Amino acid sequence: MKKLLLQLDSSRHASVFDQVVAYDAGADEIMSAPAVTPPDVRDLVHGCIFTRGPKHLKNTAVFIGGADMSAGDALLDAARKAFFGPFRVSVMLDSNGSNTTAVAAVVKIVRAMGGNVRGHRVVVTAGTGPVGLRAAGLLAHAGATVRITSRRAPDGARARDAIMKRFGGVVEVTCLTDAGQTAQCLEGAQVLLNCGPAGVQLVQRAAWANRSGLKVAVDLNAVPPQGVEGIEPNDDGVARDGVTCFGALGVGNFKMAIHKAAIARLFDSADAVLDAESIHELAQTLSG
């Protein structure tokens, strides 16, 4: 019996990234539904739960993606509401890599910080996208004081509220309209995590290199120019100017391992719900 993955994607085009990883992680076929909204979900999910007998339900699973984190959250809610009794399949949420990339970065950061970020200050630049929201939330949940930055103040405030509602903890927000302001924003920080878009440099070298107190810096942008000047994509715990550095591919290799392990996990049973916390837990069992 084929392992079938239903891809519910909130964006106009379903993520090709998620499709490639799903195939490589063992899905036999992907049933791809783009531009999905919450009212669409019930019928789509019923197509999964009413077609194969209870013993075989673990061979079908649901993957939720897309560029919008809150849309992803809403689709996950709708999918869980469509289940009832034994009529359910495993489901994973990972809007734009939100959970797998965020977890990979967070685990790298925590390990580089000696296993604990409680009480430390973390700055997440461009923290309003899916990965930033999830990473900030997991770090806040782990006891760090997290500051996210955003180019637009209302977006930042909305992101902060969403993170605290979902994960609790302490989250602050700074409106950052110019890369020149980053240095000031990093004052007192032990950790820098850049979640800015592909090909945009948000942090100049002068802002972070040899900065007193800064221990870890992570850049998740793989497309030149780098988001954090001076960090190489392949950096995976490299010491540069007194700071332990991680680049997009250094984190990305671990993200891939987490992403694939999570997909494989979906087909182990029919009742898994993989979101930030459960994927974080899964990642702890992996080296990377």
Count CB atoms within 10 A of the CB of residue 106: 28
For 227, the enclosing helix (H) or strand (E) is none
CB 258, CB 106: distance < 8 Å: no
Residue type, 54: P
Q: How many CB atoms neighbour CB 284 within 10 A?
A: 10
Work out whether 165 is an interface residue with its own copies (CB under 8 A): no
1 near its own copies, rule: CB under 8 A:
yes
What distance lies between CA 207 and its chain's CA centroid?
25
Cα–Cα nearest to 72, from 27, 22, 106, 38: 38
Smallest distance from the beta carbon of 226 to its own copies, in angstroms? 12
The verdict on 13 binding its own copies (CB under 8 A) reads yes
DSSP reduced 3-state for 255: helix
- Residue 177 binding its own copies, by CB under 8 A: no
Looking at beta carbons only, is 68 or 277 nearer to its own copies?
68
CB of 223 to its own copies, least distance (A): 7
Work out the burial of residue 142: count CB atoms within 10 Å of its CB; fewer than 13 is exposed, 13-18 middle, 19 or more buried.
buried
Kindly tell me which residue out of 77, 170, 187, 198 binds its own copies, with binding defined by CB under 8 A: 198
Q: What does the alpha-carbon distance between residue 22 and residue 145 come to, in Å, rounded to a whole number?
A: 34
Residue 15 touches its own copies, criterion: CB under 8 A: yes
The secondary structure of residue 197, as a DSSP letter, is P
Q: What is the largest CA-CA distance in the chain?
A: 61
In the bound state with its own copies, the residue whose beta carbon lies nearer, of 52 and 158, is 52
Site for its own copies contains 30 (CB under 8 A): yes
Candidates 2, 115, 119, 178; binder of its own copies (CB under 8 A) is 2
Q: Which of residues 32-51 bind its own copies (CB under 8 A)?
A: 32-33, 35-36, 40, 42-48, 50-51
Q: Does 19 bind its own copies (CB under 8 A)?
A: yes
- Does 189 bind its own copies (CB under 8 A)? Our answer is no
- Among 137, 156, 169, 252, contact with its own copies (rule: CB under 8 A): 252
197 binds its own copies (CB under 8 A): no
Binding residues for its own copies, how many (CB under 8 A)? Answer: 42
Task: Please state, in angstroms and as integers, the Cα–Cα distance from residue 144 to each residue in 22, 119, 260, following that order.
Answer: 33, 5, 28
Which residues of this chain interact with its own copies, rule CB under 8 A? 1-2, 4, 6, 12-21, 23-24, 29-33, 35-36, 40, 42-48, 50-52, 60, 84, 198, 222-224, 252, 256
